[in-house]
């Protein structure tokens, strides 16, 4: 594999291989000196056209823990602000001969689009509402660590599926690892045809008790402004995941950042069924494993 653009670039064995390696990198992250020399002398460019806290910081840390030199570019304050095209930006940065370009964009297909313009390995750190493959990997990693396997697991993804790249990558990744996936949310926020990705779709949380894992998506204020939902209040009433809706034994996940009291209640976030902290922690080890897979393993 030379790029990671979509979770579909990986089959089950490929995902397992990356996660196995992530386990050993997780061990590195537990050491006092959290560094291995795998990418010494090589350069990683993080090119973020959209704001990000955990994804950008964990890619940066992952590259640094592999001893790479890291350049972080954000659209705001860069030549992009001055109207430079994506192609020109990527070709300019490629002049530094980076081993990898990590790219986040508000537009679907951006990571794939830049591949012909650079010799670097391209890693999709989120492209519009399309995909977020490393998020899917770290979510699978988190569940696998907790439960051993995803085989036969019943996973519900709840919320604004239409506008979620995490939902799309995770439906495919969870399904690929043997889980049964259901998406639930307001009918206005479940895209027509989503079932063809291999998930059941329902506007009702009535059968939420069947879930082993409840994966909650972020709800945004803008959805109310464009009439996808009447009010955030009604959304919270119908779809908020809280202790009244969760049954004992169910695990709770969220890609962050959370709107406390909207899609998730505060007590649910802080409860011991929440894996949200483990997800963030997994981010660095899994992204180290992705760099390792792309940059050191011969294709």
Partner 1 sequence: MNKLFQRAGQTAELLIAGAHVLDPRSGIDGPHDVLIKHGQIAEISPPGSTGTAERTLQAHGKHLFPGFVDPHVHLRSPGQEYKEDIASGSAAAAAGGFCQIIAMPNTTPTIDALPVLESVIAQAQRSAVIPTGVLASITAGLAGAELTEMAALADAGALGFTDDGKPLTSAGMLRRALQYQRLSGGVIALHEEDPTLSGAGVMHEGPVSARLGLAGIPSVSESTFVARDAALALFEGAAMHFQHLSAKESVAALAAASKAAENLGARISGEATPHHLTLTDEAVYSLDSRFKMNPPLRAEEDRQAVIDGLRSGVIACIATDHAPHARHEKEQPFEQAPMGTTGSETAFSAIYTELVKPGVLTLELLIERITAGGALYGLEIPRIETGQTANLTLVDLEADWVVGQDGYVSRSGNCCFEGRRLNGVVELTLAAGQLVYES
Residues near partner 1, by CB under 8 A: 85-87, 105, 107-110, 112-113, 127-131, 163-165, 168, 191-197
- Establish whether the linkage from the previous residue to 254 is cis, with ω within 30° of 0: no
Choose between 71 and 194: whose C-beta lies nearer to partner 1.
194
Answer yes or no: are the C-beta atoms of 73 and 27 closer than 8 Å. Answer: no
Answer yes or no: are the C-beta atoms of 165 and 128 closer than 8 Å. Answer: yes
Choose between 142 and 162: whose C-beta lies nearer to partner 1.
162
Q: How far is the CB of 196 from partner 1 (least distance, A)?
A: 4
Q: How far is the CB of 85 from partner 1 (least distance, A)?
A: 6
Choose between 25 and 49: whose C-beta lies nearer to partner 1.
49
Q: How far is the CB of 105 from partner 1 (least distance, A)?
A: 7
Choose between 131 and 263: whose C-beta lies nearer to partner 1.
131
Q: How far is the CB of 193 from partner 1 (least distance, A)?
A: 3
How would you class 109 by CB atoms within 10 Å of its CB: exposed for 0-12, middle for 13-18, buried for 19 or more?
middle
Choose between 130 and 223: whose C-beta lies nearer to partner 1.
130
Q: Which residues contact 272 (CB under 8 A, 6 or more apart)?
A: none
Q: Which residues contact 77 (CB under 8 A, 6 or more apart)?
A: none
According to DSSP, the residues that pair with 201 across neighbouring strands are 183
Q: How far is the CB of 166 from partner 1 (least distance, A)?
A: 10
Count the residues in the chain.
Answer: 299
């Amino acid at each position: 594999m030379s790029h990671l653009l979509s979770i579909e670039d990986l089959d089950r064995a490929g995902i397992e291989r990356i996660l196995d390696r992530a386990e050993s990198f997780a061990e590195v992250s537990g050491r006092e000196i959290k560094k291995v020399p795998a990418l010494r002398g090589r350069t990683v460019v993080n090119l973020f056209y959209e704001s990000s806290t955990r994804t950008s910081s964990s890619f940066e840390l992952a590259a640094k823990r592999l001893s790479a030199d890291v350049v972080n570019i954000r659209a705001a304050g860069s030549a992009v602000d001055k109207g430079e095209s994506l192609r020109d930006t990527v070709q300019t940065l490629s002049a530094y001969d980076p081993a990898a370009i990590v790219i986040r964009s508000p537009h679907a297909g951006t990571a794939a689009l830049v591949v012909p313009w650079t010799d670097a390995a391209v890693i999709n750190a989120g492209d519009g509402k399309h995909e977020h493959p490393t998020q899917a990997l770290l979510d699978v990693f988190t569940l696998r660590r907790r439960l051993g396997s995803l085989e036969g697991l019943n996973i519900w993804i709840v919320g604004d599926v239409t506008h979620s790249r995490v939902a799309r990558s995770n439906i495919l990744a969870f399904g690929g690892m043997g889980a049964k996936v259901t998406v639930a949310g307001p009918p206005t926020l479940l895209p027509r045809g989503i079932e063809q990705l291999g998930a059941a779709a329902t506007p009702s949380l009535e059968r939420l008790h069947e879930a082993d894992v409840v994966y909650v998506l972020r709800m945004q204020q803008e959805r109310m402004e464009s009439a996808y939902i009447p009010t955030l209040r009604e959304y919270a009433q119908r779809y908020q995941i809280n202790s009244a809706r969760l049954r004992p034994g169910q695990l709770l996940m969220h890609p962050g950042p959370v709107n406390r009291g909207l899609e998730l209640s505060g007590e649910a976030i802080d409860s011991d069924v929440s894996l949200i902290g483990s997800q963030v922690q997994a981010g660095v080890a899994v992204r180290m494993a992705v760099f390792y897979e792309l940059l050191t393993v011969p294709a």
